[in-house]
A = this chain, B = another copy of it.
């Protein structure tokens, strides 16, 4: 009888759990205090603050349906990202199918090239902190038709990701030509990346053409040199010839390292952005993440950036990152 009761309790618990298992809530909160040369001390998001809802449905025969609806917000003000300028589900809103053929999704999200780039930057392309994201992409903007956009996403997109083939994966994003934000795409934008990730080595190559026909390509590589040390590097170039008659090209590169010190990790990077006919912008960045658990860490970062016109900016920040 006791056994029966237990079994019933199990079924009850499993029943409820099953009823709720269609949706998983996930996310991250990250807030930091920062001080930059010439600016007042302020509070901002160090990394993306997200509250996401996702689900996977097994359709049988290896086929799955899946969706993501992922909010982004500013933790310091409680608004949707960028002071309310961005969509509610800024992170992504995609629905699609996954199977032997790979994965096809419709909606909004990071372009194939932008999604592939984060693994080759020491801060994992955190939203702010000392992350070298602008150096990774040579100031390229995937989404120039939306004022205040996050510069790395497309709306009205179709995503294809190949299956993982011995570490190799192909990723494609196609956009429609429909009007959006401040204009209509000149042509269908597209983004293609190829990634290889096996053992200690990862490499990527990507090419993208945005809605105003800026052309962008990128190469990236990383290596787990020792159990403690990971090294990263990227080289990228954009060509704004379609909208800019003079000096349309910009080159960018950066190298980085993560060094595990047991209780946390040290992050370091250096990079340059070189627009045609303009002096380079250069940044040296250093950070430390102190792990409180697998889901939570405290961090400090500092960087020194030299840019034409702006001059030298020193930045310091301290913050907390919590995933759920």
Contacts and interface: CB of A to CB of B under 8 A. Distances in A.
Contact of A25 (B20, B26, B324): B20
Contacts of A20: 16-17, 20-21, 24-25
A8 to B, nearest CB: 10
Contact of A95 (B31, B55, B71): B31
A27 B24 CA distance: 12
Given A21-B16, A29-B93, A178 B43 contact: yes
A92 B74 CA distance: 11
A53 B55 contact: no
Contacts of A108: 75-78
B65 A93 contact: no
B25 A53 contact: yes
Given A43-B106, A292-B63, A17 B7 contact: no
A295 B24 CA distance: 16
Interface in A31-59: 31-33, 40-43, 49, 51, 53, 55, 57, 59
A324 B55 contact: yes
Interface stretch (A83-91, A190-198, A276-284): A83-91
Contacts of A78: 87-93, 107-108, 155
Contacts of A79: 87-89
Of listed A3, A16, A94, A324, residue having the most chain B CB within 10 A: A324
Interface of A: 2-3, 6-7, 9-14, 16-27, 29-33, 40-43, 49, 51, 53, 55, 57, 59-60, 63, 65, 67, 69, 71, 73-80, 84, 87-97, 106-108, 155-158, 176-178, 180, 292-293, 295-296, 319-320, 322, 324
Contacts of A59: 292-293, 296
B53 A51 contact: yes
Contacts of A96: 320
A109 B293 CA distance: 26
A76 B107 contact: yes
Given A29-B67, A95-B322, 19 more contacts: A10-B10, A10-B13, A12-B14, A13-B14, A16-B20, A29-B69, A41-B176, A42-B178, A43-B107, A57-B324, A59-B292, A59-B293, A65-B322, A75-B106, A75-B107, A77-B108, A78-B92, A78-B93, A84-B87
By Cβ-Cβ distance, the 7 closest A-B pairs, closest first, are A78-B87, A78-B89, A42-B178, A29-B95, A31-B106, A16-B17, A77-B155
A115 to B, nearest CB: 15
A32 to B, nearest CB: 8
B293 A65 contact: yes
B23 A27 contact: yes
A288 to B, nearest CB: 17
Contacts of A25: 20, 22-23, 25, 53
A73 B26 CA distance: 19
Contacts of A57: 293, 295-296, 322, 324
Of listed A7, A76, A96, residue having the most chain B CB within 10 A: A76
